[in-house]
Every structure is written in structure tokens, then in C-alpha cells.
Amino acid sequence: MAAANAPIAMREALTLTSLGIAPQFVTFTHVTMESEKYICVRETSPQNSVVIVDMAMPAQPLRRPITADSALMNPNTRILALKAQIPGTTQDHLQIFNIEAKTKIKSHQMPEQVVFWKWITPKLLGLVTQTSVYHWSIEGDSEPAKMFDRTANLANNQIINYRCDPSEKWLVLIGIAPGAPERPQLVKGNMQLFSVDQQRSQALEAHAASFASFKVVGNENPSTLICFASKTTNAGQITSKLHVIELGAQPGKPGFSKKQADLFFPPDFQDDFPVAMQISQKYGLIYVITKLGLLFVYDLETAAAVYRNRISPDPIFLTAESSASGGFYAINRRGQVLHATVNDATIVPFVSSQLNNLELAVNLAKRANLPGAENLVVQRFQELFAQTKYKEAAELAAESPQGLLRTPETVAKFQSVPVQAGQTPPLLQYFGTLLTRGKLNAYESLELSRLVVNQNKKNLLENWLAEDKLECSEELGDLVKTVDNDLALKIYIKARATPKVVAAFAERREFDKILIYSKQVGYTPDYLFLLQTILRTDPQGAVNFALMMSQMEGGCPVDYNTITDLFLQRNMIREATAFLLDVLKPNLPEHAFLQTKVLEINLVTYPNVADAILANGMFSHYDRPRVAQLCEKAGLYLRALQHYTELPDIKRVMVNTHAIEPQALVEFFGTLSREWALECMKDLLLVNLRGNLQIVVQELKVKMH
């Protein structure tokens, strides 16, 4: 099959020799790769050093003058573990360094030699001696803790791998030993599986093993699986197998039924054997890599063979999982670092057409959300529907790759099924299936909510929203608003339906929240429209909102005059006055027009309010002649006198002595020149001699003094 259509893509990520690493150091004892992040190489000539290759920038390796028998980079961080034999003893000195901080984290002297070691988690080193296995945490000051003793089948084996499952409850140790005399090249593989909970070991034949998690249908808890590959010879007969077995089955829960498959080695690879196994959780695939560079790919769930190919002409001695890509890295004796990845575009068509395994093709597409199975999925969905297998159809639609069947058409299809008395409607069955799988899309969320609102089961909506099961949209908010304003507001906020959020806050009279929210989301509301809306139902709220706007950073978004006019159009004199008195407190020259306006509107309607404003003396930039005229009209004669500057005006107003406090008038006379005062007195006597004589006499007394 053409490489372009192959389900697994191979590329050379780098070559170690191009980084200046001599070929004699490209071996199992000199190179370590604990994860996709780092490769570590130990050189012993021309001088002792450790080379750290950061896979994010491989062209800039870090070379440090370090003498060690083994060096391991931590899977996640720039932490280096070093092991060196203490001269003249069988003891090993172990040290852990933080390369960034240039500090030693901890060290320990092992009383026996460590024949193999590995980072089994970012916090834990696994140490294997000739007799036992220990775990050493990088945290705290704890010493290595013994986990178990090695089983007899691993005696005199070269240990090539050690790993633990994610729960750290299951541990597996792998060793190889010389082959049978008749086939010395085919080395024997031995495995020890240890249960931490049961404190029990099981000895098996295997060259490579790995742990995986798998969710069995009907069980919310994932199952822990062990996968291992073996190649054995018995009376000249070679048997090569892959096994997938559940560990620690969960009582009362559906379990994973064990699977096995043959590993088919081509005739010229009879002495070849597995050296590594990696599992892709992303795709649910098992990768078995052999010494001579063969790659076997199997489906984790069914152990069905997916692909086999030679990926390296040179022997492979080391692999590492590439969780980011769902593939793996492999290093061969030539120093090539190969990166294997799944070809997303071709794997599903390859499985369906080349292998003719339609079920596996659909499962792969569903599991890893891959293209290529569209026709198969649609066809299968229609078959299930035709057979009235609505539950299975719902599950297929829910898991359909790339949301292929998550459409309005599918919803309509389930909607169209007649509901049988006493049975769950297929549409609800469909939505129920979707909810167990994750989040509904916007259309599904709306349709399910419609059902729930019609059935008056608002509490279900609240639960789903709390669990983030529904995609919020403006339409969903509009629907929910018919039954619950608070819930609708939450939906509008999540859906970023900003105008609706603002309108909802306005309805709730939470005007301060409008300003805070708008600033948070960078939204400029139509403040004028908002103010008009609030005015209709809540005049005092409108004043408060207008005042909040006036205090906004960058100034009020609606000019004061427009706001005032809005109040006045509705004859809200008091509200307009309250607003203006607050915003005009600074008494600025540019506010002369508004100062005049607030006095004007009150002199016409509430003269006593205008009188109080003038008495406060808070304004000094208004139109004084205009205010003088209005004061006169409003019967505030003393205020008019205080504002007029022409003698005829003063004389005309002054004769209204019946409406002016005599004492106040006497005091006003005191502000006039002698000539003007005499003129005014004359007028007062002419108009009403008897009535005004007393005032004139009093004024003359004041003037004479």
C-alpha cells in the first residue's frame, strides 16, 4: 500500500549523530528517553558527559561534564536523575538534580546495585536490583521503599522495562534471557506482574507489556488492562501472541472480556521479537515494536490487527509514548529518532476497505473523532432506525465521529417517532444518551429545553446548566425567560448575549451591574434607549442610573441636556432637578446653560424649589436677566430684585411690598447707591403712601446712621 495512504505515518524527528553524538553511544545502556520531552545520552569519551536533548528545541542540546553509569531525564520537568557505582563496592549512589535551579533535590546510597531504573511517574523512580524492586519519591526526604521481590523466572535476566498503571496499584517488570540452544537469536521474554493491594506476583512469558485504561459500556469506572506480547518456542514451534486482560475486575460491574491475537512475523523475521509496547489512549491502539524494526498495530478493545509494517531497517532499542500525538517515538542503532503518528485522514478508510472490518472502522472513527466513516455511520444509523432500535441509534448518533449525526435532522427523526403509552419517547431517549456522553450543542439544548419547559420541569434545566450540559444561546435564554427570569439571565450571560443581559439587569433595577458588566465585556450599551426604558417604570431608578452614567470613566455617555430633556418630556420636573442638582455641583462655567435650565423649569412649576436653590448660592454662571424675569413672574420679588441691574426694573418690582418681607427689603436698599435708593423711596410713597411709609422711614433711619 502506498505510504501516503498508510494508516501510520513515520517521520525522522532527528538523528543523534547529527548532534555530535558518536555511534558507539547510541545503545540501550547509554541512551534513555523517559517521555516525548527529553532524550538523555551518556558519553564516556573524549570525556565523561551527559547530553540532554530537549525535543522542543533538539538543535540546541545541553552538554554537561558529568560522570555517571546512567542518566534519566524526568518525564515532565528539567530534573535529572543520576546513578553511579561507588568504586570498590557493589553499592550505587543515586542523585536527583534540578537543572534549572542548579540544585540537588535529594540523594541516596543503595546498599546493592541498581541493575535497571526508570521514572514510572513524574514523582516516582522505580529501582530494580538483582533481587528486588523499590520506589523512590522525589518529594520529601523519604528513602527508597521496597515494593516486591523479583520472581524466579526473572533470575539472570537483563531487565529491559518496568512500569506501573495510573493508579500505581499494578506493577510490571520485563526481562530477557538467552534463547534456547536451537534458536539462540530468539531471546526469551519474562514478565512479573505484581498487585500492590494483594501483595502477590504472577510470572508470565512476555517480551513487552503496558497498562491501559478502557471504559466498558455500562460501567462508569474505567477498567485497568494489561497488554503483553510474547514470542515463545516449543519443540521447534514458534508461538507469537498479544494478550489484553482486565486487572482487578469490579464486582457487579460489566467487565472487559480478555482478548488475544496472533503476531504474524514474516518468514525472514523468525528470530525477531517484541522489544517495546506503547498504547495510545487517544486512538485506543496498541503498538508493538520489535527489535528488527517491525511495527504491529492492534485495536485495544478487540485485539483486532490493524496494520503491520517495517518502520526501521536498523534494530530498535528504545521507544517512548507520544501522548500529545497519540503515537510514539523509537530510537534505532543508527541514531535515528523516529516519530510514528496515526494518519487521521486514512486510518478509517484503510480499516474499512483494506481490512474490510466495518465495525472496527466505525468504532475507531467514533472513539477518536476521525473522518472516513461517514457513509458507514449514516447507513448503520438508518438500519438501526428501520429496526426500531432507537436506543442503539441514539448511542450511534451520540458518538458519531465529528458530530456527523448531531444535527436538527436527527432530532426531527426522533421527534417523528410515535410515542407508545407507558414508554419513554425516543426523543427523550436520544437526549438522555447525549447527556450521559457530555454536552449538548446549541440546537439540541434548545429542543430539549423546549420539552422540559412544556412539562414544567424547570429544575432539570437548572441541574443541566449547573453541570454545564447545555450550550447557552440567546434563543435558549428567550425560551427560559418565559418561565424564569433569573435562569434566563444566567443563560444570556453565558451565551454573551450582551444586549439581553443589559436589558435583564435594567428590568431588575440592578443598574450598577449594567455598568460593571458592560465594562467587563467591552460592550457599549445604547444608554439613551436604556434610560428611556427605565424611565417608563421607575423614575427614581432612572435618576440613579443617570447619576451612575455621569460618574463613568471617560465622562457621561449621554450629554446632560439630553438626559434632562428625557425627564422633562415626561413632565418629571423633580427627577430632572434631582439629576441636575447633583451633576452641576462643581459649578463650572461650561454648565451655565444647564444652571439656567434647572432654575427656569422650577421657577415655572415649583418656585419654592427655585427659591431654595438660589438661597443656597450653589450656581454662579446662569443667565441672570432671564432668571430675574422668571422670578418676577413667579412672584419671587426679592429674588428678582437681587438679579435685576437696571433701575426701571428694580423700581417696577420693588412696589410689590405686599409680597416682600419688610426687613429683607430694607436690607436690599442697603445694596443700592444713595441716588437709586432715594428714587425707589419716592416711587414707594407715590404708589402707596400709607402702606410703604413705615418701610421708607426705617430705610431713612438706616441711611442717616
- pLDDT value at position 1? 40
Burial of 558: CB neighbours in 10 Å, binned 0-12, 13-18, 19+: middle
- pLDDT value at position 685? 81
Average pLDDT over residues 62-75: 95
- pLDDT value at position 406? 92
Whose cell is 444566567? That residue is 490
Cα torsion 192, 198, 200, 203 to 10°: value is -40
Q: Is the pLDDT of residue 703 over 70?
A: no
**Mean pLDDT lowest among 107-121, 243-257, 297-311, 652-666:** 652-666
3-state secondary structure (DSSP) of residue 119: strand
CA distance 232 to 270: 11
CA angle 261, 264, 269 (to 5 degrees): 145
> For 399-446, what is each residue's pLDDT tens digit?
888 888 999 999 999 988 888 887 788 888 899 889 988 899 999 999
Helix and strand element counts for the chain (H, E): 24, 28
Q: What is the 3-state secondary structure (H, E, C) of 397-462?
A: HHHCHHHCCCCHHHHHHHHCCCCCCCCCCHHHHHHHHHHHHCCCCHHHHHHHHHHHHHCCCHHHHH
Quote the pTM value.
0.70
Q: Is the pLDDT of residue 699 over 70?
A: no
Contacts of 148 (CB under 8 A, 6+ apart): 132, 133, 171, 192, 194, 199, 201
Burial of 68: CB neighbours in 10 Å, binned 0-12, 13-18, 19+: buried
Average pLDDT, the chain: 91
In contact, 205 and 232? CB cutoff 8 Å: yes
User: What CATH class does 372-436 carry?
Assistant: mainly alpha
Average pLDDT over residues 460-477: 92
CA distance 705 to 699: 10
- pLDDT value at position 235? 78
- Set of cell numbers at residue 273: 521479537
Res. 503 pLDDT band, cuts 50 70 90: confident
Q: Is the pLDDT of residue 347 over 60?
A: yes
Exposed e or buried b per residue across 507-520, where buried means at least 16 C-beta atoms within 10 angstroms of its C-beta: eeeebebbbebbee
**Mean pLDDT lowest among 19-33, 148-162, 376-390:** 376-390
Q: What percent of the chain shows pLDDT beyond 90?
A: 65
> For 667-697, what is each residue's pLDDT tens digit?
888 888 888 888 888 887 887 777 777 776 6
Whose cell is 542503532? That residue is 333
3-state secondary structure (DSSP) of residue 5: helix
- pLDDT value at position 2? 47
C-beta atoms surrounding 89 within 10 Å: 12
Q: Is the pLDDT of residue 306 over 90?
A: yes
3-state secondary structure (DSSP) of residue 361: helix
Average pLDDT over residues 76-82: 96
> For 368-384, what is each residue's pLDDT tens digit?
889 988 888 898 899 99
Provide the residue ranges of all domains of the chain, joining segments of one domain with +.
20-67+150-335, 372-436
> For 595-630, what is each residue's pLDDT tens digit?
999 999 999 999 999 999 999 999 999 999 999 999
User: What CATH class does 20-67+150-335 carry?
Assistant: mainly beta
Q: Is the pLDDT of residue 64 over 50?
A: yes
In contact, 307 and 286? CB cutoff 8 Å: no
Res. 702 pLDDT band, cuts 50 70 90: low
* More reliable by pLDDT, 240 or 377: 240
